Amino acid sequence: MTNDSGKIKKNGWRVAAGVILLFQLLISGTAVGILVWLDLLPVSYVVLVALILFWLETVVYVLFYSRIRDKKKKLDKKAKTTRRYIKRGAGCTISALVMICCLFVSSVMLQMGNTIAAIAENTVSTDSVAAYVLRDNPAKTLEEARDYVFAVTEKYDYEHTCEAVKRMGGSVGSELRTQTYDSVLDMVTALYSGNVDAMILNEAYVELIESQDGYETFSEKTRKLSDQKIETVVTASSETEEKNITKDPFIVYISGSDTRTLTLATSRSDVNILVVVNPSTKQVLLLNTPRDYYVDTAACGGAKDKLTHCGIYGIDCSMRTLGSLYDEPVDYYAQINFSGFETMVDAIGGITVESDRAFRCSEGGYYISQGTNQLNGAVALSYVRERHAFADGDNTRGRHQMQVIEAIIKKASSGTTILSNYTAILDSMEGMFTTSMSSADISALVKMQLTDGASWNVKTFAVSGTGGSERTYSMPNARSYVMYPDERQVSYAKLLVDKVVDGRTLTDADLQMPTE
């Protein structure tokens, strides 16, 4: 009876051990399969993980099934049983840890893959197109204004305007009457003078209106009757040839969307930085162009406008405008709004910057000391937006923006930072960061960096100019502050871009423009 009971226990353990080993094998195999499927790690890393998991499977098998050997026959039955339980317990512990680690890593890698896919796929931009009336207008709803004449313009954002007019007409059950004007300011003037009862406008233009003399109080004088949210797929029609992103030089346009919502929207671009990358030489050039640069834009056949206004006509307009300015096509874009920037900095645990002087930020009242500063997301955002504290305004702001980008690259590339903050980093990117790079391109860059572990030589350069006043394509009825490009600096910037593209390594001396 005792022997039968022992056999039953022994057979029962063998079955249980087999089930544990099978589960460990399935979970380990699934983890390796996910790594292969996502294609985010170098092949050597995946092979190493597979070999380690196979070795651990073998270790657990030996612990479960190997017999207690006692060549000198000094162990009694109780001691052998104790050792057997210790081995089985160790095997169960190792197996449990392996399965937990595999599930954890699989979850992290799947989240990373989903995030990369989300930011690399076509991103939806949400625009708000509203119907405005004067604040003392008796109409409180769109239904009450169904017989009004609405001012519209065909020159700016006409596609979204048409969609908004269609939706508004559908909501009141009749087609809206519209009056077309040449410019946004003409519409506002007509509204103020009573020539029209209301106007329909993309909210992205409100700041443009209020930047003009005599129109600063537009938001106070008007109110919205209806607000239509219109979604558009963000695309960039790059005309450049396909590139091997781990070998061929490429240029990325970094745009800072002037919004504070958790989604991207059409707006002015206050950050306009080209990142010129040569993956073969590990050289990166950050090239800043002031937001007020008065340039030939890609909008309306090269009409002159401020660079920041290009963002209103789409990311592709900004890319082609800068590509034309520096005689080098821009291959990709990476756009982040200000909410996303703040969240990203907090996600990596803050950044360190060196300030040339002490000053207090206009937004938030944060004090920046001369020398080393540790910045969280809110302070970093104020730091890169500040311009009123400096005599050269936008020029210093541009340098600070590049300085912060460099700090983020250094902090985020740290293995410790990524491991300790991976969830926050991935969450911060969702819905607030988008790029035209494909998920395959991003994966290739990740694998390249993991394979060679090389450090990058990051250099910065900023062009400048002189202030003036001009009519712009976006605001043709009134003069706006602009910055006339310093053609000599622009020409030198072109040379630096060419050096990076041609495989040259930049030095600090290269960044000093000759005096003559």
Q: Tens digit of pLDDT for each residue in 166-196?
A: 999 999 999 999 999 988 899 999 999 999 9
Q: Could you report the per-residue pLDDT of 15-38, keeping only the tens digit for each?
A: 889 999 999 999 999 999 999 998
- 406 or 430, higher pLDDT: 406
Q: What is the DSSP string of 233-297?
A: EE-----SPP--TTTS-EEEEEEEES--SSS--S--EEEEEEEEEETTTTEEEEEE--TTBEEE-
Q: Residue 507 carries which side chain, given as an amino acid letter?
A: T
Of 87, 120, 153, which marks where a domain is finished? 120
Q: How many alpha carbons fall within 13 Å on the CB side of residue 305?
A: 26
- How many Å apart are CA 230 and CA 287, to the nearest integer? 33
- 250 or 68, higher pLDDT: 250
CB–CB of 286/295 below 8 Å?
no
- Inform me whether the pLDDT recorded for 84 exceeds 50: yes
Mean pLDDT is lowest, of 57-66, 331-340, 470-479, for 331-340
Instruction: State in Å, rounded, how far the first CA of the chain is from the last one.
Output: 104
- How many Å apart are CA 493 and CA 505, to the nearest integer? 15
Q: Could you report the per-residue pLDDT of 95-128, keeping only the tens digit for each?
A: 999 999 999 989 888 887 887 777 776 566 677 8
463 and 451 within one domain: yes
443 and 429 within one domain: yes
pLDDT for position 25: 95
- Inform me whether the pLDDT recorded for 141 exceeds 80: yes
**CA–CA distance from 351 to each of 233, 344, 377, 431, 487 (Å)?**
33, 10, 9, 22, 34
- Inform me whether the pLDDT recorded for 223 exceeds 80: yes
Of 234, 265, 294, which marks where a domain is finished? 234
User: How many residues would you count in the chain?
Assistant: 516
Residue 242 lies in a domain: no
Q: What is the domain-level CATH number for residue 172?
A: 3.40.190.10
Q: Could you report the per-residue pLDDT of 356-375, keeping only the tens digit for each?
A: 889 999 888 999 999 999 99
Q: What is the dihedral of CA 138, 142, 143, 145, to 10 degrees?
A: 50
CB–CB of 389/362 below 8 Å?
yes
Residue 365 lies in a domain: yes
- Using a pLDDT cut of 90, give the percent of the chain over it: 43
Residue 15 lies in a domain: yes
- Inform me whether the pLDDT recorded for 298 exceeds 80: yes
156 and 31 within one domain: no
Residue 283 lies in a domain: yes
Q: Residue 80 carries which side chain, given as an amino acid letter?
A: K
CB–CB of 133/61 below 8 Å?
no
- How many Å apart are CA 43 and CA 392, to the nearest integer? 50
Q: What's the total number of domains in the chain?
A: 3
Q: What is the CA radius of gyration of the chain?
A: 31
The whole-model pTM stands at 0.78
CB–CB of 279/247 below 8 Å?
yes
pLDDT for position 262: 47
Which helix or strand (DSSP H or E) is residue 428 part of? helix 415-429
- 394 or 399, higher pLDDT: 399
222 and 260 within one domain: no
188 and 68 within one domain: no
Average pLDDT over residues 203-216: 85
105 and 56 within one domain: yes
Of 202, 234, 266, which marks where a domain is finished? 234
Residue 473 lies in a domain: yes
Residue 240 lies in a domain: no
Domain of residue 266, residue span: 250-511
- How many Å apart are CA 469 and CA 212, to the nearest integer? 12
- 354 or 424, higher pLDDT: 354
DSSP H helix total and E strand total for the chain? 14, 19
What is the average pLDDT score of the chain?
85
